[in-house]
Amino acid sequence: DDERRAHFEEGRGHFESRHALILTWRPPERRRSGLARYVYSDSESRTARYADTVLENFQTSIREVEQYLGNVLSIRRMVTQSVKERGGFQTARYDELFQFIRFSITGENHPVRLPEIPMYLDWLATAEFSHGLTPMVDSRYLAVVGIDGFPAESWPGILNSLDLMPLTYRWSSRFIFLDDQEARVRLERTRKKWQQKVRPFIDQLFQTQSRSVDQDAMAMVAETEDAIAHASSQLVAYGYYTPVIVLFDENDTRLREKAEAVRRLVQAEGFGARIETINATEAFLGSLPGNWYANIREPLINTRNLADLIPLNSVWSGAPTAPCPFYPPASPPLMLVASGSTPFRLNLHVDDVGHTLIFGPTGSGKSTLLALIAAQFRRYPRAQIFAFDKGRSMLPVTLAAGGDHYEIGESDGDGAPALAFCPLAELGTDGDRAWASEWIETLVALQGVTITPDHRNAISRQVGLLASSNGRSLSDFVSGVQMRELKEALHHYTVDGPMGQLLDAESDGLSLRSFQTFEIEQLMNMGERSLVPVLLYLFRRIEKRLTGAPSLIILDEAWLMLGHPTFRDKIREWLKVLRKANCAVVLATQSISDAERSGIIDVLKESCPTKICLPNGAAREPGTREFYERIGFNERQIEIVATALPKREYYVASPEGRRLFDMALGPVALAFAGASGKDDLKHILALKAEHGDAWPAQWLQQRGIGDAEALLHNG
């Protein structure tokens, strides 16, 4: 975590976009609105003051705009926020609108505190302005890039590339609406000007017909007539559009370089652009909120083109805090990752649901992503992590974090602790005894015995006797139960049977800490009679630990688990109920076809709002493409997945947004999250056996990180 923090703090060029919509309304003149008093019959309308009427009309218009735009955009009002000062005796108020206005004027973005008595509004921006070819605001130079030429056609997000520039700027898009009558008058004036250019002046003067006709003027006349028809139909509105980009910098040379970079990018998109000189002051004033009279660009455009030109979307940067309401207030996001000039805060949660699907072919970086998610999740207080692994890819990060890594089904080999369970150890509550009875019934049924009421009574009676005794092993249960049929069925799971090494211990070897990883590759290769009892017990132990603390269950190679009825049913249950226990389930699989055939793909799609897709060059091919479409991906998203860089880029999609990101792993993170090869794992186990808990420093040194001990000590 320290390595990643240092990486982003040292980096340059990390910027986020913020959008503001400022509405300015010019009220009608008093003498023009006076007639309205005599139109209405009620005395209240006739006696209303002019200022009150204007304010009421403005507020009504604001509400209507907010309601209409709220149907298609995510918007909110700029508000005044109250913050308790140190000591908590006084409350300070900070206004977002004033902060934005001050930023527009001075280029400085910081909170603006309101005085207790609302006055001194004229002193909102106390800065000196120096007029000239390169204006200055206090000690900061000012440059304005004006967009003065449009391409022949537009499309949505035509200038989205501006959002990727690694610099601070303010893009002002001012649109002055005209009503349909005024728009038709001005368009008709434009049509007449072009009509006069169709025929030469001599032909018009002497009323002659020559063959000389200006074809361009004829085309412009036709376009203008179409515009008049559109304005008359009221399908679109027309107005004056003035786009400028304002930049500030204390260094004149550096400011010029920034302005040139912006101008080149705008021109590359087919627009005309210039760096304002003589018109710089006028252009700057026209970009300020509420200024409707300065730097008006004459040609009219309609609202369809306006929707293409203005920045309605931006690069998604993620929520600045963890969105889960069950976490401590203002908890940090899961991790900060990078892609281009805009950083990305990755959160698995959408509101209080953190269930996540991870898809990707083998070798695309899935295990590294899971290991990093597990490591970063430990930043939350009292966090718990339970990982079901295949191939021991989580072993390095688990051991380095002081967690327990269990090789289920393995004996004392490769330094891994031998693990044996005592499933009947906890019988203190009615719920524990009910689960134990049901678990034993499952074991008996797996041996082909049909459970009868007599069987259930005998099992329940013996479980009750075990609850009051010291010996609670499965052998103790078998020796006490009176029915021979039950004894023979349970023989498979006692020390005299093949599963006794796992399920017939005197005491339980599973001591759940805050970070547990279960290697289940060997277990999944066992038959159903051996697999199901172990899984049911592990599920029980994990569920008892879910008491409301932030918890994470990771299922790597979930295609193995989705293919087994017991595990599949448990996953279905977890996705539905664990949200209330503040637990997120992360399922990762490389087999898209197995997920499709699991029978719960609809549950996975609905219950997992966050989906992370690893690069997959086959995403566009028939068969695979249909799966991505079924989980909600469109053609563009499938193209991104197909062309992303393996082991480097990841594509996340959630209801909050979509983003291609790079985890930006440093050498320390790669040493633990990316070390999943067999040779690396053997080396790590050897170092742990030799150096104990100090093995991470030795491992980092052997990976070429010289200050490993100091780094781990500071962490």
Residue range 279-295, pLDDT digits in tens: 999 999 999 999 989 99
Q: How many CA atoms lie within 13 A of 610 on its CB side?
A: 23
**Which of 500, 517, 551 represents a domain boundary (last residue)?**
500
In degrees, to the nearest 5, what angle opens at C-alpha 404 toward C-alphas 400 and 405? Answer: 90
**Which of 309, 325, 351 represents a domain boundary (last residue)?**
309
Are residues 193 and 216 in contact, defined by beta-carbon separation less than 8 angstroms? no
Cα–Cα distance for residue pair 526/529, rounded to 1 Å = 8
Cα–Cα distance for residue pair 471/475, rounded to 1 Å = 9
Tell me, yes or no, whether 596 and 490 share the same domain.
no
% of residues, the chain, pLDDT over 90 = 34
Which pLDDT belongs to residue 600?
72
- What is 435-483 written as a DSSP string? HHHHHHHHHHHHTTPPP-HHHHHHHHHHHHHHHTSS--SHHHHHHH---
The answer as to whether 508 is a domain residue is: no
Cα–Cα distance for residue pair 485/452, rounded to 1 Å = 11
Which pLDDT belongs to residue 215?
79
Which residue in 116, 99, 115 sits closest to 107, CA to CA?
99
The answer as to whether 53 is a domain residue is: yes
Structure tokens at 295: 């730097």
CA 448 to chain centre: 49
Tokens 């005044």, located at residue? 80
Instruction: Give 203's contacts (C-beta < 8 A, 6+ positions apart).
Output: 209, 210, 212
Tell me, yes or no, whether 270 and 142 share the same domain.
yes
Tell me, yes or no, whether 150 and 283 share the same domain.
yes
pLDDT band at residue 119 using 50, 70 and 90 as cut-offs:
confident
pLDDT band at residue 639 using 50, 70 and 90 as cut-offs:
very high
Instruction: Give 543's contacts (C-beta < 8 A, 6+ positions apart).
Output: 581
Q: How many domains does the chain have?
A: 5
Between 73 and 260, residue with greater pLDDT: 260
Q: What residues make up the domain containing 27?
A: 18-77
Which pLDDT belongs to residue 415?
40
Which pLDDT belongs to residue 208?
67
Tell me, yes or no, whether 547 and 650 share the same domain.
yes
Exposure class string for 510-537: b at 16+ Cβ within 10 A, else e: beeebbbbbbbbebbebeeebbbbbbbb
The answer as to whether 371 is a domain residue is: yes
Beta-strand runs (E) in 321-374:
335-337, 344-346, 356-359
Residue range 457-516, pLDDT digits in tens: 999 999 999 988 888 899 999 999 889 999 999 999 998 888 888 888 888 888 878 899
pLDDT band at residue 438 using 50, 70 and 90 as cut-offs:
very high
Structure tokens at 352: 């209080």
Structure tokens at 206: 């002497």
Cα–Cα distance for residue pair 60/55, rounded to 1 Å = 9
Assess whether pLDDT exceeds 70 at residue 12: no
Tell me, yes or no, whether 155 and 231 share the same domain.
yes
Structure tokens at 397: 């990060």
Residue range 121-130, pLDDT digits in tens: 777 778 889 9
Tell me, yes or no, whether 44 and 139 share the same domain.
no
Residue range 185-222, pLDDT digits in tens: 998 888 888 888 777 666 666 566 666 777 788 888 88
Give the mean model confidence (pLDDT) for residues 78-100. 84
Structure tokens at 143: 């440059």
Residue type, 680: D
Are residues 149 and 226 in contact, defined by beta-carbon separation less than 8 angstroms? no
Structure tokens at 138: 């206090």
Provide the 3-class DSSP secondary structure of residue 18: coil
Which residue in 406, 419, 411 sits closest to 519, CA to CA?
406
- What is 585-612 written as a DSSP string? EEEEES-HHHHHHTS-HHHHHHH--EEE
C-alpha dist (Å) from residue 471 to 96, 422, 439, 500, 510: 68, 10, 18, 16, 18
Tell me, yes or no, whether 443 and 547 share the same domain.
no
The answer as to whether 183 is a domain residue is: yes
Tell me, yes or no, whether 137 and 274 share the same domain.
yes
Between 276 and 366, residue with greater pLDDT: 276
Domain CATH for 564: 3.40.50.300
Are residues 380 and 331 in contact, defined by beta-carbon separation less than 8 angstroms? yes
Structure tokens at 195: 């009509």
Residue range 133-188, pLDDT digits in tens: 889 998 899 999 999 888 888 888 889 888 888 889 999 999 999 988 898 999 88
Assess whether pLDDT exceeds 90 at residue 262: yes
The answer as to whether 417 is a domain residue is: no
pLDDT band at residue 417 using 50, 70 and 90 as cut-offs:
very low
Instruction: Give 677's contacts (C-beta < 8 A, 6+ positions apart).
Output: none
The answer as to whether 319 is a domain residue is: no
Provide the 3-class DSSP secondary structure of residue 179: coil
Cα–Cα distance for residue pair 554/33, rounded to 1 Å = 68
Cα–Cα distance for residue pair 178/186, rounded to 1 Å = 10
Which pLDDT belongs to residue 281?
94
The answer as to whether 637 is a domain residue is: yes
Cα–Cα distance for residue pair 478/459, rounded to 1 Å = 10
Which pLDDT belongs to residue 708?
60
**Which of 256, 274, 309 represents a domain boundary (last residue)?**
309
Instruction: Give 698's contacts (C-beta < 8 A, 6+ positions apart).
Output: 687, 690, 691, 708
In degrees, to the nearest 5, what angle opens at C-alpha 277 toward C-alphas 272 and 280? Answer: 90
Q: Please state, rounded to an integer, the average pLDDT across all residues of the chain.
A: 85
Which pLDDT belongs to residue 676?
81
Cα–Cα distance for residue pair 159/166, rounded to 1 Å = 15
Which pLDDT belongs to residue 416?
40
Tell me, yes or no, whether 135 and 245 share the same domain.
yes
Which pLDDT belongs to residue 212?
72
Instruction: List, in sequence order, every residue forming a beta bridge with 554; answer none if it has no partner.
Output: 387, 586
- What is 133-166 written as a DSSP string? SS-EETTEEEEEEEEEE--S---TTTTGGGGG-S
Q: How many CA atoms lie within 13 A of 541 on its CB side?
A: 22
Find the radius of gyration of the CA atoms of the chain. 35
Cα–Cα distance for residue pair 424/559, rounded to 1 Å = 30
Structure tokens at 274: 């210039």
Give the mean model confidence (pLDDT) for residues 304-330. 89
Tell me, yes or no, whether 71 and 139 share the same domain.
no
pLDDT band at residue 378 using 50, 70 and 90 as cut-offs:
very high
Residue range 568-616, pLDDT digits in tens: 788 888 888 999 999 999 988 876 666 666 677 777 888 899 999 999 8
In degrees, to the nearest 5, what angle opens at C-alpha 167 toward C-alphas 141 and 613? Answer: 170
The answer as to whether 339 is a domain residue is: yes
Instruction: List, in sequence order, every residue forming a beta bridge with 113; answer none if it has no partner.
Output: 94
What is the 8-class DSSP label of residue 342? S
Burial class for 262, CB neighbours closer than 10 Å (0-12, 13-18, 19+): buried
Tell me, yes or no, whether 657 and 681 share the same domain.
no
Cα–Cα distance for residue pair 309/154, rounded to 1 Å = 7
The sign of the torsion formed by the CA atoms of 298, 300, 303, 308 equals negative
Cα–Cα distance for residue pair 307/301, rounded to 1 Å = 11
Residue range 649-696, pLDDT digits in tens: 899 999 988 999 888 788 888 888 888 888 888 999 999 889 888 888
Tell me, yes or no, whether 145 and 216 share the same domain.
yes
